[in-house]
Amino acid sequence: MTDQPDAIIHQPIRLKIMAALKALPDGEQLEFVKLKDIAGATEGNLGAHITTLESAGYASVAKDFVGKRPRTRVGLTRQGRRAFEDYVTYLKDILNTGASS
């Protein structure tokens, strides 16, 4: 067990983003607008958190157009899925350690 949780995921909004994306089937993406509602963040704040996740290799961002409207979609990378699973394992280990004390 590591001593500290993954600092990138541990931030509350990024944790919500990661959890929402992890719930999707592998390879699926979530539209920015939907992710904004789930995370309860402003557009600018959400964009900054997505950039952090993308820079860490945890998220991928796809931009395209639907008609004339821009669309941004976000998904987890394999590295992001693994990091989230490790994060959940870290939390479970804390609970198991506390239960046995």
**Percent above pLDDT 70 for the chain:** 94
CATH 3.30.160.270 is held by the domain 7-95: no
CB atoms closer than 10 angstroms to residue 15: 18
30-31 β-sheet, strand order? 30-31, 69-76, 59-66
Domain ranges within the chain, ordered by starting residue: 7-95
pLDDT recorded at residue 24: 96
- Reported as a pLDDT band with limits 50, 70 and 90, residue 2 is low
Residue 77's alpha-carbon distances to 6, 16, 18, 54, in angstroms, are: 16, 16, 11, 9
Averaged pLDDT of the chain: 93
- Reported as a pLDDT band with limits 50, 70 and 90, residue 97 is confident
CB atoms closer than 10 angstroms to residue 35: 21
- Reported as a pLDDT band with limits 50, 70 and 90, residue 23 is very high
Q: 55-70 pLDDT, tens per residue?
A: 999 999 999 999 999 9
pLDDT recorded at residue 5: 92
DSSP-assigned letter for residue 23 = T
Q: Is 73 helix (H, G, I), strand (E, B) or coil?
A: strand
User: Whole-model pTM?
Assistant: 0.90
Q: What is the four-CA torsion angle of 22, 55, 37, 11, rounded to 10 degrees?
A: 80
